[in-house]
Amino acid sequence: MNARSYPTLHDCDPGSDDAITLLTLLGRLDVNLLGVSTTHGNAPLSATTQNARALLKLAGREDIPVYAGALTPLVREPVYAPQIHGVTGLGGVPLPSPSVPVKSEHAALTLIRQLCAQPGEITLLATGPLTNLALAERLRPGVLKEAKQIIIMGGSLENGAPRLGNTTPRAEFNAYADPHAFDVVLKAGANLALIGLNLTRQVQVTRARAQQLAAVGTAAAQTCSALLDDYLDRIGKLGQTVGALHDPCTAALMLSPELFDWEEAHVDILTDSGERFGETVQVGGEPNVQLVTGANEAGIYALVAEALRRLP
Ligand code: BDR
Ligand code: CA
């Protein structure tokens, strides 16, 4: 596994599960992480960017560039998730202070530059609101088609029907946080895989899973375990005992697609104001996504644990 066979960009809003995704990528010898781009989302952009840099420091990989992106969504007001991730995005989990500054290039321009430099080669993992991707597409129409694949954590669909959201009764957080951007990306004609709540709820977060990661023993694994415990503490206050390992499913799909099932589908997002704002819907018509429908929970945790074992 020495060949860096997965040229990858990670657009994210860390966020505890974004953090686990990023560390999983960093623990893989076969991933060539070309950059981390950040967006508003779980916390304001300044916090998500700081978190991405701190995670790279934790992994001893400050050579990987961080590009800050969208401060706000395309149209709507920003919405954050302090009740799930804390006001700084990573709960109270301690991380080292980053020493390498953020790059001056805007994340959307980075996406354009990198995707155009290696057409058809790069997998783009998108684990936050899709504002940076939409900005890139608006600035350079067609650019998202240059990705080998874009794997998105967002939305929620089951057997063609919407399932309960996690932010409103109908909408998932990343979709709700910038539905207009989500719409731009769905319409870009790119090779999209969509991992919604219908999928991630099959990959449960429990105290036992947090302990499984802690037992790996590395600082990175113990940080991930602490992040899961913090997440369980927070959703516990909201009356939930079991969570979902959302964002790491994107990395797992890229690295081990045999752990998943999917089907071709046409998915739209509702952007009219009202109670269905941000809801994803499956409709007839030409497929525009691979809708991921099934996951091997134990296999995904094993993949994450194995990657975290290789980090400091
Ligand atoms: C998504 O929303 C965020 O809070 C998580 O990081 C994940 O990307 C789940 O709905
Ligand atoms: Ca996220």
Q: Is residue 206 predicted with pLDDT exceeding 50?
A: yes
Cα dihedral: 258, 17, 224, 56 (round 10) = 100
CB distance 38 to 47 below 8 Å = no
Distance CA 27, CA 228 (A): 18
45 within some domain: yes
25 within some domain: yes
Distance CA 274, CA 268 (A): 16
φ and ψ at 289, to 5 degrees?
-145, 160
| pLDDT in the model for residue 2 | 46
E strand segments, the chain = 6-12, 31-38, 66-68, 123-126, 149-153, 192-195, 204-205, 243-244, 260-269, 280-283, 289-295
Distance CA 193, CA 176 (A): 18
Cα of 47 vs centre of ligand 1, distance in Å, is 15
Tokens 């395309």: give the residue: 74
Confidence at 3, pLDDT banded by 50, 70, 90: low
In the chain, pLDDT over 90 holds for what percent of residues?
95
14 within some domain: yes
- Mutation probe of ligand 1 site: the residue of 246, 249, 250 with most atoms within 8 A of C-beta: 246
Distance CA 81, CA 173 (A): 8
Q: Is residue 162 predicted with pLDDT exceeding 80?
A: no
| pLDDT in the model for residue 164 | 86
Ligand nearest to the CA of 11: 2
179 within some domain: yes
Q: Is the CB of 245 under 6 A from ligand 1?
A: no
Q: Is residue 152 predicted with pLDDT exceeding 80?
A: yes
Q: Is the CB of 176 under 6 A from ligand 1?
A: no
Q: Is the CB of 127 under 6 A from ligand 1?
A: yes
As a whole number, mean pLDDT of residues 20-31 equals 97
The most distant pair of C-alpha atoms in the chain lies apart, rounded to whole Å, by 51
| pLDDT in the model for residue 1 | 44
As a whole number, mean pLDDT of residues 12-31 equals 98
226 within some domain: yes
1 within some domain: no
Q: Is the CB of 80 under 6 A from ligand 1?
A: no
| pLDDT in the model for residue 4 | 62
Cα of 3 vs centre of ligand 1, distance in Å, is 31
173 within some domain: yes
Kindly report the number of other CB atoms within 10 A of residue 208's CB atom.
8
- Taking CA atoms only, the protein residue closest to ligand 1 atom 4 is 42
Cα of 78 vs centre of ligand 1, distance in Å, is 15
56-70, 81-95, 128-142, 148-162: the lowest-pLDDT one: 148-162
Confidence at 92, pLDDT banded by 50, 70, 90: confident
192 within some domain: yes
Structurally, the chain folds into a number of domains equal to: 1
Q: Is the CB of 247 under 6 A from ligand 1?
A: yes
Read off the CATH number of the domain in which 51 is found.
3.90.245.10
The pTM (predicted TM-score) of the whole model is 0.97
Active site residue 246: yes
- Taking CA atoms only, the protein residue closest to ligand 1 atom 2 is 173
Domain holding 176, by residue range, is: 6-309
Which of 10, 40, 85, 246 is flagged as catalytic? 246
Confidence at 163, pLDDT banded by 50, 70, 90: confident
* Average pLDDT value for the chain: 96
As a whole number, mean pLDDT of residues 23-29 equals 97
Q: Is the CB of 17 under 6 A from ligand 1?
A: yes
Q: Is residue 110 predicted with pLDDT exceeding 60?
A: yes
Q: Is residue 43 predicted with pLDDT exceeding 90?
A: yes
Tokens of 248: 């790491």
As a whole number, mean pLDDT of residues 83-92 equals 94
Tokens of 136: 């890139």
